[in-house]
A and B are shown apart, each in its own frame.
Chain A
């Protein structure tokens, strides 16, 4: 019974394509996040949603559009993919914004050719 799941695990695509990564949590949490970990292993927050509302947007290019159909899901859609978008993307969730613990998914490795 996976707590935070992401699909797909691996995604290889061409520059210019549009792709989506899905995230689901079955923990009943109100807050969900997207993080990007680049080739140098730096892990940076991109977005945070609380009860389907955007609360953090870390100046991510508007080619990235998160969508939260309900509080258990936070999907990441990326338009016009660029080489620099290659990274591992992690989804996470927490009971609420001010909580101490975030639970991370297994990651999606995106490779843009």
Chain B
């Protein structure tokens, strides 16, 4: 079973920052937070991951709370191509990925 809770859907205006929340209150000390997304009819795509510290790459930023019980994925300037289902996943590094239901993000023109 997925160990995360995400809102089923969210809307964001094009050009604005999209902030996707994730709760993982039972996360263990050796579990990382990963984000993947799945654009319609495509395979999932890795976005970012982190353990304790905030992380940023060319796609997004990941903000993890100090108690690690929740995190937020930030897409700084959302475009229509960011419309997708976003999955927040917690896992030990060598364990399998368990996908939950994710958040369906709609970018509005």
A residues neighboring B (CB under 8 Å): 4, 41-45, 48, 56, 58, 90, 92, 97-107
Do A104 and B94 have beta carbons less than 8 Å apart?
no
Give the size of the chain B interface in residues (CB under 8 angstroms): 19
Stretch at the interface among B15-23, B41-49, B67-75, B76-84: B41-49
Interface string of B30-59 (1 = CB under 8 A from A): 001010001001111110010000000000
B residues neighboring A (CB under 8 Å): 32, 34, 38, 41-46, 49, 85, 87, 93-94, 96-99, 101
Find chain A residues with CB under 8 A from B45 CB.
Answer: 104
Selected from A4, A42, A97, the residue in CB contact (under 8 A) with B94 is A97
Given contacts A100-B32, A107-B42, contact A41 B85 (CB under 8 A): yes
Selected from A48, A92, A100, A105, the residue in CB contact (under 8 A) with B93 is A100
Do B49 and A43 have beta carbons less than 8 Å apart?
no
Find chain B residues with CB under 8 A from A56 CB.
Answer: 96
